[in-house]
Amino acid sequence: MIVADAKPLDEVFGFVENYGKVLVLGCGECVTVCQVGGEKEVAVLAQTLRLKAGSEGKEIEFLEDTIQRQCEPEFVEPVLEHLDGVDAVLSLACGIGVNFMADQNLDVPVFPAVNTTFMGATVRHGEWAERCAACGDCILHLTGGICPIARCAKSILNGPCGGTNDGECEISTPENPVDCAWALIIERAKKLGTLDKLKDIIAPKDWSTARDGGPRRRVRPDLLLAEEEDTDVEA
Ligand code: SF4
Ligand code: SF4
């Protein structure tokens, strides 16, 4: 899932304080799960913004809506049909949703109400941790399913580095303990009986499949609807 944090209220209010009617728009997927951008958070943010606007003598109407996904036309298009009179959209989706809304060439601005942080897993209720950096050429078969790119501070492919200390990364602090990804990889290999395989040096990675190669795009002709087959999609 994509994990996000709520932006500070003052920052968000600053985006919309000079508009008359603002749609506060949530997303029903990842940001709902990590409890920063679903229906409940939309209600809380809209009400908080109303109170703040009132306390500052500003007349702003805040509308509320939450759609299943802000990154798919099927769900976004109905919202676009009901934007009459709306001066700005405040999106609680991840950055993908905000981009997708902006790509619709709206006449009104779309502002982000959250900071998109990483792709991660739920470690426990209320805690999420980064697990994949979408490098585009997965090497988890070489590392026992533990990602050195997302989970090692240096993203090194043959570790650990000299900073590893009792299973912790050198960036670890008492306030923010960080496992050494390579210590985890080694422990995992011991458990699986594959320690010998770690003697094989992992070759330098071709980062062109990652974000370093520029914005990525996939077109699956087998999935395109007939009327869309000849339509090019902007990357
Ligand atoms: S190797 Fe790449 S695709 Fe696989 S988990 Fe790590 S970052 Fe993600
Ligand atoms: S201590 Fe481990 S996780 Fe930290 S940078 Fe070195 S190899 Fe990576």
Q: Best of 118, 146, 147, 185 to mutate for ligand 1, by most ligand atoms within 8 A of CB?
A: 147
* Mean pLDDT over the full length of the chain: 95
Quickly state the pLDDT bin for 230 (edges 50, 70, 90). low
pLDDT tens digit string along 52-89? 999 999 999 999 999 999 999 999 999 999 999 999 99
Q: What is the DSSP letter of 66?
A: E
Phi/psi of residue 77, each to 5°? -60, -40
CATH architecture of 2-118: 3-Layer(aba) Sandwich (3.40)
Nearest CA to ligand 2 atom 6: 161
**Strands of 2-6's sheet in order across:** 2-6, 114-124, 127-132
- For the Cβ of 132 lying below 6 angstroms from any atom of ligand 1, the answer is yes
- The domain ranges of the chain are 2-118, 135-213
pTM above 0.95, yes or no: no
- With beta carbons less than 8 A apart as the criterion, state whether 108 and 88 touch: yes
Residues with CB under 6 A from ligand 2: 152-154, 156, 159-161, 163-164, 169-170, 180-182
Q: What is the DSSP letter of 205?
A: P
What pLDDT does residue 228 have? Answer: 65
Cα separations (Å) of 179 from 103, 222, 224?
Answer: 39, 42, 43
What pLDDT does residue 184 have? Answer: 98
Cβ atoms within 10 Å of 106's Cβ, excluding its own: 15
Region 211-231 average pLDDT: 85
Q: Best of 118, 140, 216 to mutate for ligand 1, by most ligand atoms within 8 A of CB?
A: 140
Proximal ligand: closest to the CA of 154: 2
Degrees, nearest 5: CA angle 210-214-218: 75
Residue 235 pLDDT exceeds 90? no
Q: Which atom of ligand 1 is nearest to the CA of 143?
A: 1
What pLDDT does residue 226 have? Answer: 76
Give distance in angstroms: CA of 35 to centre of ligand 1.
25
What pLDDT does residue 234 have? Answer: 46
Amino acid at 79: V
- For the Cβ of 138 lying below 6 angstroms from any atom of ligand 1, the answer is yes
pLDDT tens digit string along 137-187? 999 999 999 999 999 999 999 999 999 999 999 999 999 999 999 999 999
Q: Which atom of ligand 1 is nearest to the CA of 210?
A: 2
Nearest to residue 75, comparing CAs of 134, 25, 24?
Answer: 25
